[in-house]
Amino acid sequence: MKKDQLKLFLDEKVKEYNKPAFIRDDPISIPHRFSKKQDIEIAGLFAAVFSWGNRKTIINKSNELMHRMDNAPHDFILNHKEIDLKKMLSFRHRTFNPTDALCFIDFLKNFYKKNNSLENAFSEGIKGNDKTVENGLIHFHNLFFLRENYPVRTRKHIPTPERKSSCKRLNMFLRWMVRDDNCGVDFGIWKNIKPAQLVCPLDLHVDRVARRYGLIKNKNTNWDAALELTDKLRRLDPVDPVKYDFALFGIGVLEKF
């Protein structure tokens, strides 16, 4: 398919899937339960971190965690007592266990004591001339693990480009927070990161579809492949390349292409 044809095709698919009807069956439905900025950030981070496997299970487990946080995650993060953390000791989602939950809560508590928005944890690592959010992702990982008492096992839930991870879940979280197109799906509540700097979330479905359309040549599903895909999508829309995540994901998962 020629570039112009591919752009027209994918643009139509973006219009088809980038609308409120997409929300209900997607993990982004979790942060959409909230209106307070910090609640959206925290709910979005957990929903994104949990996002591997069956979407229904991801949504159910994310809702369960929000319930354990009294459906007020920012207030819980800042004001919980030690006894309140007992509710976390039986929470599990696949390899995410109670120890991981306690580490996340501890990090977020310390961060929100000093910051009004989780955006700072990413944007402070991005330099003015950075083409992508790569340095922001590295900064977030390093900031999270400044506390040496966090176990090594928790690192699997906060990937970094330095280890060549595609960082699919964190890139998805950034898409939710940064993109602002008035379509009602992504939030666009972060303003210090540009949509043009986002990297396309590269899950197995997006990877498969992108390869069929010649958008990825890299043999591995890693950070370099995510950058390659995003660079190709940037040629279709240099201002908002990651909008095509809707198209590739929709074709791969919802149309089972």
Domain region containing 66 = 23-199
Domain membership flag for residue 208:
no
Domain membership flag for residue 239:
no
Q: CA 228, 122, 40: angle at the middle one, nearest 5?
A: 105
Domain membership flag for residue 32:
yes
CB within 8 Å of 180: residues ≥ 6 apart = 186, 187, 188, 195
pTM listed for this prediction: 0.97
What digits encode the pLDDT tens for the residues 188-206?
999 999 999 999 999 999 9
Pinpoint the alpha helices (H) of 69-203: 73-79, 98-114, 120-123, 134-144, 168-178
Distance CA 163, CA 160 (A): 6
What digits encode the pLDDT tens for the residues 32-88?
999 999 999 999 999 999 998 899 999 999 999 999 999 999 999 999 999 999 999
Domain membership flag for residue 209:
no
Domain membership flag for residue 7:
no
Pinpoint the alpha helices (H) of the chain: 3-17, 37-49, 55-68, 73-79, 98-114, 120-123, 134-144, 168-178, 204-212, 223-236, 244-249
Domain membership flag for residue 237:
no
| Chain mean pLDDT for the chain | 96
Q: How many domains does the chain have?
A: 1
